Structure 1
Amino acid sequence: MTISSSLNAGVAGLAANANRLATISDNIANSSTYGYKRVEADFQSLVLSDSGRSYTAGGVQTVTQRLIDQSGSLVSTANPTDLAVRGRGMLPVTPASEVRAGTSDPEMLLATTGSFRVDEQGYLSTSTGMILMGWPAALDGSIPPFSRDTSDGLEPVQFSLNLIGDPTTSIDTRLNLPATDTAAGSSGDPYNLSVEYFDNLGTSQSLSMTFTPTVAATGSSNEWTLVMTDSASGGAVVGEYVLTFDDSRTSGGTIASVTTVSGGTYDPASGDMVVAADGGPITVNIGAVGDTQGLSQLSDSFAPISINKDGSTVGNMTSVEVDETGNVFARFDSGVTKRIYQIPLVDLPNPNGLEALDQQTYRPSKESGAFFLWDSGEGPTGDIKSFSREESTTDVAAELTSMIQTQRAYSSNAKLIQTVDEMLQETTNIKR
């Protein structure tokens, strides 16, 4: 019956506008919530079959959708591990409850922003209990290859709160040997250079280099003997080499050849030689053949120019930083900065199909499509911005305008029901 369908349509209108008001209420309530994505209610008409002689009202229904692909404005903060995604992509996080329960494969959830801080167990987590996830770096700071279509390689980001040492693995030397000391009549006195390095326990050791000139009977020999000893090995010789320098017009003073007497073999292309120190091998670079940046033999003075080496003494972690490419660095009071993790950005074909959860987190679903892990700033993704939070996507002015429209629509549907009620009352009065 047409009049009954009008009543039903009015009731459906009340329910639809009540749903819309609920989404508006949620949006306004979360207008200051970082990372909140507004919800939108879409109205869809219901059309029943029309006989042509009378019309039956079908009414209306609502479909709600969270607009996850919308991005809010970024605001600056004072915390270096306040993170926000600038552009497409989401941060991988996991519930702290699963990690602390010892779950071997914690669930990967997604978020677009978060205020992360190092907690008492060293995890980079939020106050709401979400821990950031990333790919762990190798001991040398490199990131091993991981599968990009699965979260199996991701781990909760955790830092060691204890002391940490960084052993020395390479030493680059630049110094000048006096050319006059290999000439006939020279004293042949050696020159000594001690280079500090750090062993596997962070203890200071020294690698001593002794340069002894070969004095020529006539003219100049342009030859030196380099002997390296290791204090950690009780002063034992770890390498001995005979260095010959070029005296030509074009390459005068550069290394012409190196003969290995003992220790690691000299590489003429790179200038490297590996010496077996007590705590492990150390690569010593003295310059390639013909290279002007390594050892030289010029003039009449012994002049150490620069000694560059890695490694450091034991230090405490002082701060954590995340760069735009997602690399997580730990800084120590010893002056060392180490890359510990790399945070990927997760991209999906349909972000709006994600399942929304509490705390502005989302779970991949069938509707969102299969995810892929990208390096920040590569592919379709944006980059990671530190010292930043993403604001709510709610526009309060627009929501208040929609609230007024919803209120008027609700009142109109209520008036429709009142009118139908009066018409039914008139119908009832006919019998009287």
Structure 2
Amino acid sequence: MAIAGGTFQQGLSGLNAAQRGLEVIANNVSNASVVGFKGSDAEFADVFARAFNGSGSTNGIGLGTSLSSVTQNFKQGNINVTGNPLDLAINGNGFFKVASTAGEMVYTRNGQFNLDKDGFIVNSKGDKLQGFPIDATTGRVSDVSQNLAISQASIPPSPTRGSSLEVNLDARATPIAAAVPFDPANLNTYNNSTALTVYDELGQSHIMSIYLRKESGNTWSAYATVDGTQVDVGVAPVTPTVAPAQAAAGSLVFGVDGQLTTPANAQFTVDLSRFVTATGTPFSSTGTGPNSYTFDMSKATQYGSSFSVQNLGQDGYTASPFAGYNIGPNGTLTISYANGKLVDVARVGLYKFTNPEALQPVGANGWLATQQAGAELVSLSDDSAFGLIQAGALEESNVDLTAELVAMISAQRVYQANSQSIKTQDSLLQTITNLR
């Protein structure tokens, strides 16, 4: 009777184990199409009552099986392109972190995000995506995370603070006699010219024209006008009571190899005092801001080929409305404006744990940190230990549906076999109880 009762227990434990295994498989199958879902595996262990004889060897019989643990499988799922810029997929290690409406920090691989009415990046539950702001001036990424939001306000204007000209000056050009003064209205007083748009503090545009004049030898002069008014190049800002007729020019000296030798860095100053004095309207909207900006000609050359401009630019811009946003592979959130300006505003954080299998599942494809999972590690750069973020895509469930269906058949056979062992023991018990 004791033996039969023990065998009933073994068969029952087998039935329970097979049932729990089927539950895990069924849960995986039911979530096979859920974005970011990670499948689980049921792990079983035998139950054994030790009995030792005098020789130290065991002669006990196992008491069946039990569910040891249910572990999560964090292998990579397939990436599916959606085209939605706020759909984010992690290709590699790591989790997104969101602040739940209950005040908890939840980790997830589900990158289905959208904007709420206040511009915050949220998931379907309203949990806010966490990231690190980027300083607009220095480009430095903050060490403190916060709720990420996308502002759709217009970008304010920014005055020109630096301009540059990368140019080749023709070494074969004829020098202009020193006795001939520069006059922007007279083509015979300079060799070449080009122009670019610069901006004041109100975002109003002005045309800066640059005139290049060959002096004796390998020396050139760079003159400039703003909206037709001569301005000084290469001097510190001044505010003359009466501006001299001839504006100052930046001097460029080239070596026999055509490379610039003087000045060493060719970082000139464009002094706008003449422009202010001549028009009565300061370049700075307040009248107290800087009325000068740098002018970089360090990449100028003098070769025996035609005059050509390789690059011409400046850093100012006018006010402009919001045009869109993008999230790059390293998680950088960039906002674009109608004037072509791109501003990096934040970095989406990726988080990882030494033992992610020990994270506590809380549903909705989310997990909570636990002591057993280890310390939270965060990536603020293109760290190879973390994954890359692919915008406009989602990570599919990592459940292999074919493998799960095969496992389901196997679990069904195990359940049937344990049922058969119970049936057999029941038959033996009936035989014993029928003895006369």
- Tell me the TM-score normalized by structure 1: 0.76
Indicate which of 307, 312, 315 corresponds to 1:307: 312
CA shift for structure 1 position 270 = 5.5
Q: Is the Cα contact below 8 Å between 1:171 and 1:285 reproduced in 2?
A: yes
In the alignment, which of 174, 177, 185 is matched to residue 183 of structure 1? Answer: 177
Residues 225-272 of structure 1 show CA distances to partners (whole Å, capped at 9, x for unaligned) of 8577699xxxxx9567542343764459x5745xxxxxxxxxx42515
Paired residue for 1:384?
A: 389
SS at match of 2:156: strand
Q: Which residue of 1 aligns with 2:244?
A: none
Seen in structure 2, the aligned counterparts of structure 1 residues 197 and 410 have a Cα distance that, compared at 3 Å, is: same
> 2:19 and 2:78 mapped to 1: Cα distance?
29
Provide the C-alpha distance between the structure 2 equivalents of 1:357 and 1:314, rounded to a whole number of angstroms. Answer: 46
- The answer to whether the 8 A contact 1:190-1:210 is kept is no
- Structure 2 unaligned runs (5+)? 186-192, 229-235, 239-246, 273-282
SS in 2 for 1:58: strand
**What is the number of equivalent residue pairs in this alignment?**
393
CA shift, 1:14, in A, is 1.6
Q: How does 1:315-330 map to 2 (within 5 A)?
A: 315-330=320-335
Are 2:145 and 1:165 aligned? no
SS of 2:63's equivalent in the other structure is coil
The answer to whether the aligner puts 1:414 opposite 2:425 as a matched pair is no
Cα distance between partner residues in 2 of 1:247 and 1:42 = 77
Residue 355 (structure 1) aligns with: 360
1:14-35 CA-to-partner distances (Å, cap 9, x unmatched) read: 2111111110110110111111
CA RMSD of aligned residues (A): 3.9
Mapped partners of 1:227, 1:79: distance in 2: 47
**Secondary structure, in 3 states, of the residue corresponding to 2:363?**
coil
**Aligned sequence identity (%):** 22
Q: Which of 243, 251, 258 pairs up with 2:250?
A: 243
- Could you tell me how far apart the structure 1 residues matched to 2:358 and 2:375 are? 11
- The answer to which of 19-28 and 409-418 deviates more is 409-418
Which residues of structure 1 form unaligned runs of 5+? 99-105, 147-152, 232-236, 258-267
- Contact in 2 for aligned 1:354/1:368 (Cα 8 Å): yes
- Give the CA deviation at 1:348: 1.8
**Displacement of 1:63 after TM fit?**
2.7
Structure 1 residues 130 and 220: CA distance shift in structure 2, 3 A: same
Contact 1:2 1:54 in 2 (8 A): no
Once the two structures are superposed, the pairs formed by residues 153-232 of structure 1 within 5 Å of their partners are 153-167=144-158, 168-174=160-166, 182-186=176-180, 188-190=182-184, 195-200=196-201, 203-206=203-206, 208=208, 226=223
Deviates more, 1:364-373 or 1:65-74: 65-74
Amino acid at match of 1:412: A
Quick one: which amino acid aligns to residue 84 of structure 2?
N
Aligned partners of 1:300 and 1:421: how far apart in 2? Answer: 104
Counterpart in the other structure of 1:43: 44
User: What is the alpha-carbon distance in structure 1 between the residues aligned to residue 377 and residue 218 of structure 2?
Assistant: 64
Residue 408 (structure 2) pairs with residue 403 (structure 1): yes
